[in-house]
Amino acid sequence: MKLREFAKQLGLSPTTVSRALSGYPEVSEATRARVASEAMRLGYRPDINAVRLKTGRAGAIGVMMGRSGEIHFAEFVSGMAQRLETTDTDILITPITAHNDDDEIQAYRRLVESRRVDAVIIHSPRPRDPRIEMLNSLGVPFLVHGRSETEHVHAWLDIDNENAVRRVTEHLLDLGHRRIAMINGLRGKTYSIHREQGFRIAHQERGLTADPSLMVCDKFSDESGFRHARSFLESANAPTAIVAGSTMTALGVYRAVRSLGMTVGQDVSVIAHDDVFPYLTAENMVPSLSTTRSSMRAAGTRCAELTLQLIAGRPADEIHELWPVELILRESTAPPR
């Protein structure tokens, strides 16, 4: 089916259909969704070679996969795929094995200068992220999944990490906990800094001080959750509650609590940030896990949509989205004994 024939069946102009499939921001969300749905139903696919020849585009969005966070990355890319499946836009995944900033910067530079991608998505930025400066200098469209404090203009989508951890800490303090531990994400990342700020502010507003000896930074994994929770719980003045940076981390915390003959929700309260994994759901953990909920897959879908808009010409300074985080209380949090 050719574009003109497909557009006629929808009662739209070929230009509108083409722009809807390409993510142009001037096309309404309702029209874009309708065109995408009908394209899938009728089996319409643009002639990708003709489109790329006409536009000069590579037809791909680049993302880098680091050495940690593979589970979160897989969910994010799955969300991207949901949005891109009707656009003939590929996802080019490049592994990063860099051990320092310079190596990582060069990896991004090689990706952009290879002209294999039309845009790039950056994950886990730092407050003054050198990747943002470099990509700006190359003039390539890019979206930051997270936020940075750099003066360089950049499009971004982030969740309200500070308020999320602030709320869970307030919940534990309201229950009567005073010795609260936090297993945060990787040190130096903006999201980890914001989460620590939320943790400290919740204490300060009650005239308390968060104990630095009960705060650690590490990658999100079952292993790190187990190791840090064991260390906390075996200390002389053990915490009565633990804030875990992810569901995977909380899984390790659960194991640590049980290995010491204690019970989650009775001897130790646990609350975590939940990335809504289809194969690890907080409500099915025993006991069910209290969480702040934010879907990594939904973030991937939205980031793909916003990146398409950047490729289509939408200014980067118009794209700043901060998502609120929902607090869901279950069985893993209770007043301390």
- We find that the CATH architecture of domain 3-44 is Orthogonal Bundle (1.10)
pLDDT of residue 98: 62
Q: Alpha-carbon distance 214 to 10, whole Å?
A: 60
pLDDT of residue 23: 72
pLDDT of residue 274: 84
Tokens of 325: 């985080």
Tokens of 324: 């609120």
Tokens of 92: 């080019």
Q: Alpha-carbon distance 287 to 73, whole Å?
A: 27
Phi, psi of 328 (to 5 degrees): -120, 115
Candidates 3.40.50.880, 3.40.50.2300, 3.20.20.10, 3.90.1170.40; CATH matching 60-159+297-323? 3.40.50.2300
Identical fold, 3-44 and 60-159+297-323: no
Domain 161-294: give its CATH superfamily: Response regulator (3.40.50.2300)
* Domain boundary assignment for the chain: 3-44, 60-159+297-323, 161-294
For residue range 119-176, list pLDDT tens digits in order: 999 999 999 999 999 999 999 999 999 999 999 999 999 999 999 999 999 999 999 9
What is the DSSP code string of 298-323? Answer: HHHHHHHHHHHHHHTT--GGG-EEEE
Q: Can you list the residues of the chain whose pLDDT is less than 50?
A: none
- Tokens 């989650």 identify what position? 264
Contact 332, 265 (CB under 8 A): yes
Q: For 277, how many CA atoms within 13 A lie in the half-sphere containing its CB?
A: 19
Q: Alpha-carbon distance 332 to 329, whole Å?
A: 8
Q: Find the helix or strand (DSSP H, E) in which 184 lies.
A: strand 180-184
Helix, strand, coil percentages in the chain from 3-state DSSP, rounded to 5? 45, 20, 35
